[in-house]
Structure 1
Amino acid sequence: MICMLLRLKRAKSWFQTNKINVMEWPAQSPDLNPIENLWGDIKNAVSEAKPRNVNELWNVVKESWSGITAERCHKLVDSMPHRCQAVLKNCGHTTKY
């Protein structure tokens, strides 16, 4: 953990030294990480299925993942310009996405 913090500190220092602006970006923010929406789809499928054991859970996850269509992915990717505009308009805070 300490090594990771030192690397992070060095990286931040390098960006500052080289006058590179870094946008604060919360981890797992669904606003700017459309994959989080897909994980949410899987989480909802698991919640609805209420698996009773690990095998059932695994089957629900695999089935849900297989059910994600290319169209769903394209829609999420296509929404990125609007997502970025919404985040900028909201000064970096969360949005409706």
Structure 2
Amino acid sequence: RKFYSLMRKFHLTKDFFQENNVALLNHPVCSPDLNPIENVWGWMAREVYKNGRQFQTVDALCEAIFTTWSNVPTMLLETLASSMYKRIFEVINNNGGPTHY
């Protein structure tokens, strides 16, 4: 049942995009090379656990995650956003295969 609900949402979204002339890129379904948020998650994990930091409670870990999220450098986000052209180009050149991103 969840699958059919998900498919219905997919088709509604696709229809909305078509009706509003939103251009979509065809790309591999699971393509971390085209999802810069994966780079943000990696940066966050390195920051949260910097210098081998460990957490005694879930609350302490959550606090560290939220603090880190609040302090993601704007420059990191700008760099990732500006890299999209190169990412797309590299994915196309590699026929959807892996890239250095």
Structure 1 and Structure 2 fold alike (TM over 0.5): yes
Structure 1 unaligned runs (5+)? 15-20
The Cα shift of 1:68 comes to 0.8
The reply on whether 1:53 has 2:57 as its aligned counterpart is yes
How far, CA to CA, are the matches of 2:74 and 2:3 in structure 1? 41
What's the TM-score once normalised by structure 1's chain length? Answer: 0.70
Q: Partner residue of 1:39?
A: 41
| Matched residue, 2:83 | 79
TM-score normalised over the length of structure 2: 0.68
Deviations along 1:15-73, one digit per CA (max 9) or x if unpaired, are xxxxxx9724223x321111111112222334443222111111210121122111110
**Which stretches in structure 2 are left out of the alignment for 5+ residues?**
16-23
Partner Cα separation in structure 2 for residue 9 and residue 55 of structure 1 = 35
Corresponding position of 2:74:
70
How many residues align? The count is 88
What SS does the aligned partner of 1:91 have?
coil
Alignment RMSD, CA only? Answer: 2.7
Structure-2 residue corresponding to 1:92: 96
Identity of aligned pairs, percent?
A: 31
Deviating above 6 A after TM superposition, structure 1's stretches of 4 or more consecutive aligned residues are 8-11
